[in-house]
């Protein structure tokens, strides 16, 4: 038997998933889960990076208690955020991408280099929290003091192994890599105010980083661990974990954000893809994640928080199922919903301002969100097919959102194609598959996905062709414009 551990950390929680592989089968077990979230420190929203690292070590202790003496490990997290270091030590807690410091950063950058030029260099969509704009918004004195900048998963792996690298699937999201020569772009580094000497070497997905330096953590009882740079961007790992055996497939990685796209072998960098704000993030094994970053479960998560978590997400969906869909048109991608002080009040204010029915109950609020998410998915589905020139037979949804049957059914109704849901832990599973490829269990990604398809159960949702309501038709027109 062999053991492999995926450390998968999202914006709201983290987990360690243990895979026990033997006789061509695997057993998966969540051995540790912990909360995550940013807090206001020194006038900025910041991540408690040291607590996250502590939780990784606690999870490894639990693995040891379960009898795991030797294992491989990979870490994936969200993208774009970074830790500034000097002499190997973090200077501050990293600032979260939802912090408001980058609100005007894009306009500032475009005065020096037009958006068209940046997109032609990088193929990356414009989001005001991309690392390029975060560096522009950084405290100049702090940036000057730092000798190294590491993205979040690379920093955590560095703490384990002592090796500083930038794994490409995450590094590409910084909007600092040139998609044509696959290296840092010097013009963009100058624009961002960051030196090449402050950035680590790029490494490909699956690179072996080294053993866990157990001597540095004598207060913990840890197994022997070999650490790999998996697809360290959680979306990249989620795409690896799509159980598709066909060459062309469309996916949504559904979590706090929704990432809708296709896996390509060459990027699409055109005027049309820029206008649609599609990105060409680098994927595992020389692929590209041609996708659009749109809103996701964040809105529902915030509604739950505003209600002091009186309802589970399953209970919220159950109450929503008692409400008619498509009663409101709410553009959830509007910046006003990015990080409002009170999400429920923001949604209700939007509906009042636009003369629409105001959702009041938890069921009405939840259905409002899910209906509009399905419409957004439908609009981007059509756009994705147009931009790629491909015809997709079904939509794969992986990640936590794949467990929301109501949303899956609404999405199938809108796109009029089957939705294949699962795995819910797609990101962790993709993380594990890279470890299995790197350690020799599988020879390539295609073989790993074929194994995955046999090992997991999936749910299919077929379109209800009777749901051609006037509300749906009207709102589809709004989104498809």
* pTM given for the model: 0.88
Residues 212 and 272 in one domain: no
Question: What is the distance between the alpha carbons of residues 231 and 33, in angstroms, rounded to a whole number?
Answer: 20
The pLDDT of residue 134: 98
Judgement on whether residues 275 and 217 belong to the same structural domain of the protein: no
For 198-228, the pLDDT digits (tens) are: 999 999 999 999 999 999 999 999 999 999 9
- Angstrom distance (rounded) from CA 82 to CA 151: 4
Would you tell me the crossing angle of helices 362-388 and 343-353 to the nearest 10 degrees?
80
Q: Which residues of the chain have pLDDT under 50?
A: 480
Coil, helix or strand at residue 18: strand
Q: Give the active site residue among 234, 308, 334, 470.
A: 234
Residue 108: both structure tokens together: 């500032």
Q: Is residue 435 situated within a structural domain? A: no
Q: Which two tokens stand for residue 430?
A: 């993709």
Measured distance CA(297)–CA(305) in Å, rounded: 12
Does residue 205 sit in the same domain as residue 323? no
For residues 7 and 52, give the distance between their C-alpha atoms in angstroms, rounded to a whole number.
Answer: 11
- For the CA atoms of 372, 378, 381, 385, the dihedral, rounded to the nearest 10 degrees, stands at -150
On whether both 361 and 474 belong to a single domain, the answer is yes
Under a CB-based contact definition with an 8 Å cutoff, are residues 362 and 311 in contact? yes
DSSP 417: S
pLDDT in tens, 420-476: 999 999 999 999 999 999 999 999 999 999 999 999 999 999 998 776 555 566 555
Q: Do residues 209 and 261 share a domain?
A: no
Residues 204 and 280 in one domain: no
Q: In what helix (H) or strand (E) does residue 422 lie, and over which residues does it extend?
A: none
Radius of gyration of the chain (CA): 22
Q: Based on the number of CB atoms within 10 Å of its own CB, is 354 exposed (0-12), middle (13-18) or buried (19 or more)? A: exposed
DSSP assignment string, 112-143: TS-HHHHHHHH-----TTSHHHHHHTS-HHHH
How many C-alpha atoms does 475 have within 13 Å on its Cβ side? Answer: 23
Residue where a domain terminates, one of 182, 197, 229: 229
> Are 296 and 255 contacting, i.e. CB atoms less than 8 angstroms apart?
yes
Residues 354 and 323 in one domain: yes
The contacts of residue 213 (CB under 8 Å, 6+ apart) are 160, 161, 162
User: What SS3 state is found at 81?
Assistant: coil
Give 323's DSSP letter.
Answer: S
Contacts of 219 (CB under 8 A, 6+ apart): none
Q: Are 182 and 166 in contact (CB under 8 A)?
A: no
The answer to whether residues 223 and 289 belong to one domain is no
* Domain-located, residue 65: yes
Q: Which of 229, 257, 287 is the last residue of a domain?
A: 229
Residue 245 per-residue DSSP state: -
Residue 245: predicted pLDDT:
85
Environment class of residue 339 by beta-carbon count within 10 Å: exposed (0-12), middle (13-18) or buried (19+)?
Answer: middle
Residue 448 burial (C-beta neighbours within 10 Å; 0-12, 13-18, 19+): buried
Let me know whether 287 and 372 are in one domain.
Answer: yes
Which stretches of 297-361 are DSSP H helices?
298-306, 313-320, 343-353
For residues 234 and 244, is the Cβ–Cβ distance under 8 A?
no
Residue whose structure tokens are 């044509």: 180
Angle at 236 between CA 230 and CA 240, to 5 degrees: 80
* 227 and 161 Cβ atoms separated by less than 8 Å: yes
Task: Kindly state whether residues 168 and 191 are assigned to the same domain.
Answer: yes
Q: Are residues 185 and 249 in the same domain?
A: no
Same domain, 164 and 88: yes
Could you tell me the CATH number of the domain that includes residue 62?
A: 3.30.420.40
The residue out of 203, 229, 255 marking a domain boundary is 229
Q: 């973090």: which residue's tokens? A: 90
190 is catalytic: no
Instruction: Judge whether 198 and 147 are in contact, CB under 8 Å.
Output: yes
The label of the residue with tokens 């020879």 reads 443
Q: Using CA atoms of 76, 77, 80, 84 in order, give the dihedral in degrees to the nearest 10.
A: -90
Query: Is 429 inside any structural domain?
Result: no
- Dihedral class, residue 202 (left if φ above 0, else alpha if ψ from -120 to 50, else beta): beta
What range does the domain containing 355 cover? 242-422+442-481
């Amino acid at each position: 038997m062999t053991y492999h551990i995926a450390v998968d950390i999202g914006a709201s929680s983290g987990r360690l998933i243990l895979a026990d592989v033997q006789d061509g089968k695997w057993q998966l077990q969540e051995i540790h889960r912990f909360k995550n979230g940013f807090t206001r420190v020194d006038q900025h929203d910041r991540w408690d990076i040291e607590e996250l690292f502590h939780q990784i070590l606690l999870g490894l202790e639990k693995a040891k208690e379960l009898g795991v003496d030797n294992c491989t490990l990979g870490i994936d997290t969200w993208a774009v955020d970074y830790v500034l270091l000097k002499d190997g030590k973090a200077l501050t807690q990293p600032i979260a991408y939802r912090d408001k410091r980058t609100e005007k950063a894009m306009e500032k950058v475009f005065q020096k280099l037009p958006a068209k030029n940046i997109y032609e260099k990088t193929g990356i969509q414009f989001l005001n929290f991309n690392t390029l704009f975060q560096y522009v918004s950084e405290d100049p004195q702090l940036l000057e003091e730092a000798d190294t900048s590491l993205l979040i998963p690379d920093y955590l792996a560095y703490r384990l192994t002592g090796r500083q690298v930038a794994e490409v699937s995450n590094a590409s999201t910084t909007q600092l890599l040139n998609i044509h020569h696959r290296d840092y772009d010097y013009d963009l580094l100058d624009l961002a105010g960051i030196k090449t000497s402050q950035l680590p070497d790029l490494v490909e997905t699956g690179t072996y980083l080294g053993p866990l330096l157990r001597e540095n953590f004598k207060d913990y009882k840890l197994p022997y661990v070999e650490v790999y740079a998996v697809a360290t961007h959680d979306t990249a790992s989620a795409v690896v974990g799509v159980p598709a055996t066909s060459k062309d497939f469309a996916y949504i990685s559904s979590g706090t954000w929704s990432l809708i796209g296709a896996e390509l072998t060459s990027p699409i960098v055109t005027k049309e893809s820029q206008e649609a704000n599609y990105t060409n993030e680098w994927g595992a094994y020389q692929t590209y994640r041609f996708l659009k970053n749109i809103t996701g479960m964040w809105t529902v998560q915030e509604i739950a928080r505003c209600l002091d978590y009186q309802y589970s997400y399953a209970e919220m969906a159950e109450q929503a199922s008692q409400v008619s869909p498509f009663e409101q048109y709410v553009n959830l991608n509007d910046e006003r919903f990015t990080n409002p002080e009170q999400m429920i009040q923001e949604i209700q204010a939007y509906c009042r301002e636009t003369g629409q029915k105001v959702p009041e109950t938890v069921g009405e609020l939840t259905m409002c969100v899910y209906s509009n998410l399905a419409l957004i998915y439908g609009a981007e589905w059509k756009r994705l097919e147009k931009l790629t020139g491909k015809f997709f037979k079904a939509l794969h949804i992986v990640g936590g959102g794949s467990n929301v049957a109501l949303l899956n059914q609404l999405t199938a109704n809108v796109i009029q194609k089957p939705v294949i849901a699962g795995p819910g832990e797609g990101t962790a599973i993709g993380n594990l598959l890279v470890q299995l490829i790197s350690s020799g269990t599988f020879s390539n990604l295609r073989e790993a996905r074929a194994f995955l398809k046999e090992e997991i159960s999936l749910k299919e949702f077929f379109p209800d062709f009777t749901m051609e309501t006037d509300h749906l038709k009207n709102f589809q027109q709004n989104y498809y414009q």
